[in-house]
Amino acid sequence: MADKDSEYATWLPVIGRALARLALERATDREPDKYREVLDKVKFLEGLGLPQADAAEAAGSTAESVRVARYNKSKAKKSGKKGSKKKATRGRR
C-alpha cells in the first residue's frame, strides 16, 4: 500500500499540471481577449490550484517576472496617473 501512495504522490501533481495547461488552452480558445496578458493566464491557473511558479511557467513566463509585473500593476493602480506632476520646490534664499 505504501508503494501505491508514493506512486500517486509522484504522478498526481504531473497530471494536475497537465490538466491545468489544457484548461488554459481551452479557455484562451474560447475567450482570447480575456486571457491575452500573462498575468491573466497566471491568475486563471492559480485559481485552478497551481503554485505561482508552475502557473508562470505554463503561461510562458517565469515566477520572478510575474512577481515584478504584479508589483508594477499594483503600483500603477495606486498612483492613478501615469504622468504625475512633480511638486514645486522653493529655492534657497
- Domain membership of residue 89 (yes or no) is no
- Domain membership of residue 85 (yes or no) is no
Domain that holds residue 7: 2-77
Total domains in the chain come to 1
| The pLDDT of residue 65 is above 80 | yes
Rg (CA), the chain: 21
Q: Indicate the DSSP class of residue 34.
A: T
Put simply, whether the predicted model's pTM sits higher than 0.75 gets the answer no
In sign, the C-alpha dihedral spanning 61, 64, 65, 68 is positive
Place of cell 492613478: 80
The torsion defined by the Cα of 17, 23, 26 and 28, in degrees rounded to 10, comes to -80
pLDDT in tens, 27-53: 999 999 999 999 999 999 999 999 999
**Average pLDDT of 48-67?**
94
Confidence tier at 4 by pLDDT (50, 70, 90): confident
pLDDT recorded at residue 83: 57
Higher pLDDT, 84 or 40: 40
